[in-house]
Amino acid sequence: MPITTEFEYLKPKDMDEALHVFSLYREKARALAGGTDLVVHLKENLSRPEVVVDIKALQELSGLTLKEGTLRLGALTTFSELIDSPVIKSKFPLLWEASLTVASTGVRNRATVAGNICSAVPSADSAPVLAVYDAEVMTRSLKGERRVPIGEWFTGPKKTALLPDEIVTAIELKLPEKKHAGCYMKLSRYEGEDLAQGGIAVLAFSDNTYRVAACALGPVPARCPKTEAVLGGNKLGDKLLAKAGDTILQEVSPISDIRSSKEYRLHMTRIMLGRALEMAVARLFGKGPKYGTENIC
Contact range with another protein by CB under 8 A, out of 97-105, 178-186, 242-250, 256-264: 97-105
80 is a site residue for another protein (CB under 8 A): yes
CB-based contact 63:33 (threshold 8 Å) = no
For residue 43, state whether it binds another protein (rule: CB under 8 A): yes
Asked if residue 259 binds another protein (CB under 8 A), the reply is: no
Segment near another protein (CB under 8 A); pick from 28-36, 64-72, 129-137, 243-251:
28-36
# residues contacting another protein (CB under 8 A): 32
Residue 73 CB-density burial (10 A; 0-12 exposed, 13-18 middle, 19+ buried): buried
Which position among 12, 35, 225, 232 is part of the footprint of another protein (CB under 8 A)?
35
Q: How many Cβ atoms from other residues are within 10 Å of residue 250's Cβ?
A: 10
Asked if 1 is part of the footprint of another protein (rule: CB under 8 A), the reply reads yes
Asked if 100 is part of the footprint of another protein (rule: CB under 8 A), the reply reads yes
39 binds another protein (CB under 8 A): yes
Helical (H) or strand (E) element with 54: strand 51-54
Reference 123, options 105, 92, 102; nearest CA is: 102
Does 7 engage in binding with another protein (CB under 8 A)?
yes
Task: Provide the 3-class DSSP secondary structure of residue 199.
Answer: strand
Query: What per-residue string of b and e applies to 148-176 under the rule 16 or more CB within 10 Å gives b?
Result: bebbebbeeebebbbeebbbbbbbbbeeb
24 binds another protein (CB under 8 A): no
Q: Which of residues 74 and 274 has its CB atom nearest to another protein in the complex?
A: 74
DSSP 152: H
Residue numbers at the binding site for another protein (CB under 8 A): 1-9, 32, 35-36, 39-40, 42-43, 52, 54, 56, 80, 100, 103-107, 109-110, 191-193, 294
